[in-house]
């Protein structure tokens, strides 16, 4: 190694040590430390400035900061203020190393489990998805946030559908997205999504599964159309229809839809509900959400 190269390496190493020690310093007497671990991240410089300072050792610096962040997140109680320091640390680390997918993934989850900072969680996950567009877990976690935290089934479905198209994604994601679209009362979007997936796949087994899911989405679309027509009929005539055939007419339905599995739609005038004779249950999403 030449003298100039050795000097450059020493300077870079020295800067790294300064940055690392600045964050990783631990008082010899922890009980006398005045600043909680998480709050120490307030002293971090902006990620862009730090990238310049570490002279090409961005990944090493990011690793050092991530180790400190993990230790800090392990504190017994994380306040909302501390949650903002977590976000700041995650932002700096991922600016140093935009392909550090584990930080986006674990950090995005931490921001809605250790604390409830959904906006910050979404922001770090969006950043990760932008820099790592082929990593399916990031749009999946965004979809989870929109479903569980924000109760926005339509947006959740969009993100889950996006994740399902990426390499390595679990096969069940397509079905989950379909149910979310149905829950958001957008079954036609689910149909279009499944049809697109059907056209893109060459696996015959997958095609058969998708065909069944398309039929389920078609049935859900029909059931929602019938329910809406029942509502309009009730408003117009001040009574419930006696049978589904009563729904065919001006302002209601031009014709009754055909059940896609070859069965029929069954109407109960007592409860004013309608179901498919071929489906045990309707498309919907099960699971508890965070109370609002």
Whether 79 is in a domain gets the answer: yes
Whether 240 is in a domain gets the answer: no
What pLDDT sits at residue 250? Answer: 87
**Residues ≥6 apart with Cβ < 8 Å to 76:** none
User: Which residue has tokens 């946030």?
Assistant: 145
Whether 290 is in a domain gets the answer: no
Domain count, the chain: 1
Q: What range does the domain containing 126 cover?
A: 11-22+33-133
What pLDDT sits at residue 239? Answer: 94
What pLDDT sits at residue 25? Answer: 45
- pLDDT mean for each 10 residues of the chain (292 residues): 51 50 42 47 55 62 79 73 86 90 92 90 97 96 91 93 93 89 88 83 78 92 95 94 94 95 96 94 70 64
Distance (Å) of CA 79 to CA 35, 85, 102, 252: 14, 10, 23, 54
Whether 274 is in a domain gets the answer: no
Q: What's the CATH number where 67 sits?
A: 1.25.40
What pLDDT sits at residue 28? Answer: 31
Phi, psi torsion values for 267, nearest 5 degrees: -110, 135
């Amino acid at each position: 190694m030449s003298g100039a190269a050795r000097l450059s390496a020493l300077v870079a190493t020295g800067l790294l040590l300064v940055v690392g020690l600045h964050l990783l310093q631990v008082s010899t007497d922890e009980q006398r430390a005045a600043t909680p671990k998480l709050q120490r991240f307030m002293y971090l410089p902006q990620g862009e400035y730090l990238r310049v300072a570490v002279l090409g050792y961005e990944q090493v610096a990011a690793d050092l900061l991530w180790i400190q962040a993990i230790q800090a997140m392990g504190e017994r109680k994380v306040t909302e203020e501390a949650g903002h320091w977590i976000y700041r640390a995650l932002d700096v680390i991922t600016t140093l190393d935009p392909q550090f997918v584990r930080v986006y993934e674990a950090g995005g989850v931490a921001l809605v489990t250790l604390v409830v900072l959904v906006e910050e969680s979404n922001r770090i996950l969006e950043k990760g998805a932008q820099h790592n567009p082929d990593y399916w877990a990031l749009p999946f976690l965004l979809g989870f946030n929109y479903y569980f935290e924000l109760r926005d089934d339509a947006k959740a479905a969009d993100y889950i559908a996006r994740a399902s198209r990426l390499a390595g994604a679990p096969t069940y994601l397509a079905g989950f997205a379909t149910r979310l679209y149905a829950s958001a009362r957008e079954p036609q979007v689910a149909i279009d999504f499944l049809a697109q997936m059907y056209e893109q796949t060459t696996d015959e087994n997958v095609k058969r599964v998708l065909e069944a899911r398309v039929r389920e989405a078609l049935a859900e679309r029909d059931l929602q159309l019938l329910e809406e027509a029942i509502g309009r009929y009730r408003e117009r005539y001040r009574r419930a229809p006696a049978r589904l055939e009563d729904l065919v007419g001006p302002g209601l339905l031009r014709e009754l839809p055909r059940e896609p599995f070859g069965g029929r739609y069954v109407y109960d005038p007592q409860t004013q509900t309608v179901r498919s004779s071929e489906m045990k249950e309707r498309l919907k999403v099960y699971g508890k959400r965070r109370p609002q």
